[in-house]
Structure 1
Amino acid sequence: MGPRHVTDGGLETDLIYLRGFDLPEFASFPLLDSDEGRAVLADYFRAYVDIAVRAEAPVLLETPTWRANPDHAARLGYDAAALDRINRESVAFLYEVAAARADELVGAEVGGMVGPRGDGYASAGPVDPESAAEYHRPQLASFAAAGAGRATVLTLTEVGEGIGVSRAAADVGLDVGIGFTVETDGRLPDGTTLAEAIEAVDAVARPNYFLVNCAHPSHVLRGMRDGAWKDRIGGLRVNASTMSHAELDAAETLDGGDPAQLAADQRPLVEAFANLEVLGGCCGTDARHVAAMWGV
């Protein structure tokens, strides 16, 4: 595994709670279709480029496309052609952001971000892997055509969709990280342990690595068990809040926690995952939290 990459924090919670944007469908990708939106996104991502420069680490900028899939995008007026366009443009946009400080960065990569077809906080039951592959393949193909270096799917709640995304990424020739979220007990929302989920995906559609996201470090630690599965964790994007997914869903204000405390709480995970190469944040985190994680 290569050197650790700085990546960003909780894009959508930053936009909603810190910058005052309304994001229907919790989708940030429509901002790419306005000058104001592009300016705000550029400002957001530049903060993480700056962290990478200060940390003397490569940066992985991941596209604001977590909700740029057919089900969610259709409710925002985007058809298949518009989705292909926006997913490609998101990659080019982030390459431009990185290029502005290319002479100061030790490395930069743009990754395509994928989200679950359904709710990122709750499982609706088993997902058929082949159906998931067919569903997510167009977005991954758009990223590949635009020159993304890899893809990442975050906040998956069960195994089948992870298998499908991994297969679809292989189909289009993209490296991929499969990201699962966990509840306060350290298990996926459907009750599967991280170890079981990773072993199940690896058995039939081995991705490049796995991630854990959208959970506080204390939640992940409750599900920690010894085993080779820990060596397959290559990315970590934790929440600032100790609240459960249900509590976060109902919250009307942002629980940003304390950046220094979050970095300290996360340290046991950084030490436990020997092959960690991507480190950033998720809901409630912003550039202050990620800077604290990197000690800059």
Structure 2
Amino acid sequence: MYKYRDSIPINSTGLFLTDGGLETTLVFHHHLDLPEFAAFTLLDQANGIETLRNYYLPYIRTAREQGAGFILESPTWRASRAWARKIGYDVDQLESVNASAISMLADLRREFEMPGAPMVISGCIGPYGDGYQVSEKLTVSEAEEYHREQIDILSRTEADLVSAFTINYNEEAEGIVLATKASNMPVVISFTTETDGRLPSGKTLKDAVQELDDHTGAYPVYYMINCAHPVHFNGALKSGEPWVRRIRAIRANASEKSHEELDASTELDEGNSQALGQWYRALKDRLPDLSVFGGCCGTDVSHIREIARAIH
């Protein structure tokens, strides 16, 4: 069913784009109510799939204009048991929405993929607790057990890999890797950082990547940084040491604000899209192994266009 699971083309030197801040776009630009920031709830609403499809289309067109590959990231960041229970979803409904999300993306791939510009389907998962702070810490085995349910569902779809977003401590990251390994799914681990370039747990990016690779036999396909502005983590990537080459993707926030400031904000901070593009260009110039570029909170297709122009 899947297309690239056995050979993820992202490991080539080509350019891949992906989308921006899905949830912030839907809430602030489309004025939609997303309980618990859960975009997957749209899959059960009238015209919800059409809304999501229309969200992805401008990003896909941008990638085609650039001749770039594209990562179709599913709207399932909150589609795991603990979060779903808070908004009234049971286990059967959870399986249905995860499967529906990937099916929607597979339809988009069949319609828009072009030779030389692959479209990779990623099953997005999120943390058990708050992505901004280590509030409910799981052990490795607890994290493996918790995330295995959603990962097993995704493994039975056309998803090529799993991407774990906004991970802020290593025990959960390791549990996720073990669960994906048991399901024979490739995995991307995306860490978030505070303004000092460290994970919310206090661990450095270097230690987080090296420790996880040591504990899992370097199983993750690559690492990503998301939900932080480049001004926050730029300094952590200057070493030129081998671990930095494991970071292949950036999905930055538009805003330079801290997580605490963003949490308290009632308005969307869209930052400066041209300046963000130049940040990405500087990162790409210094780190040639970077190949996947998208956005997170506050970014939309205008930011991704600027990033693509700056890089290309």
Give CA deviations for 1:83-130 in whole Å, capped at 9, x if unaligned. Answer: 111111110111112222235872212110000000010012653111
Identity fraction in percent: 37
1:179 aligns with 2:193: no
Gaps of 5+ in 1: none
In the alignment, does 2:230 pair up with 1:217?
yes
The secondary structure found in structure 1 opposite 2:249 is strand
- CA deviations 1:41-85 (Å, max 9, x no partner) are 101111111111001011110100000011110011111111111
Given the two structures, how large is their TM-score scaled by the length of structure 2? Answer: 0.91
Deviations 1:209-234 (A, max 9, x none): 11100000100113334121111002
1:119 to 106, 130, 145: 130
Post-superposition CA distance 1:14-43 (Å, at most 9, x none): 000111011110100010112321111101
Q: What amino acid sits opposite 2:279 in the alignment? A: D
| 2:142 aligns with one of 119, 126, 131 | 131
> Where does residue 235 of structure 1 map in the other structure?
249
Q: How many residues align?
A: 296
Q: Given the alignment of the two structures, is residue 248 of structure 1 paired with residue 259 of structure 2, yes or no?
A: no
Give the aligned residue type for 2:295. G
d(CA) in 1 for partners of 2:118 and 2:22?
22
1:160 and 2:171 correspond = yes
Contact 1:53/1:105, CA 8 A, preserved across alignment? no
**Aligned residue among 190, 212, 223 for 2:201:** 190
Superposition pairs of residues 27-106 of structure 1, within 5 angstroms: 27-103=38-114, 106=117
- Structure 2 contact 106–158 (Cα < 8 Å) conserved: no
TM (norm. structure 1) is 0.96
> 2:21, 2:298 within 8 Å by CA — same for their partners in 1?
yes
User: Residue type of the partner of 1:197?
Assistant: A
> CA RMSD of the aligned region, Å?
1.5
CA offsets 1:169-200 (integer angstroms, 9 cap, x no match): 11111111000000001000111100000011
Assess if the C-alpha contact under 8 Å between 1:49 and 1:98 holds in 2. Answer: no
Aligned to 2:158: 147
Secondary structure at the counterpart of residue 146 of structure 1: coil
Shift of 1:164: 0.8
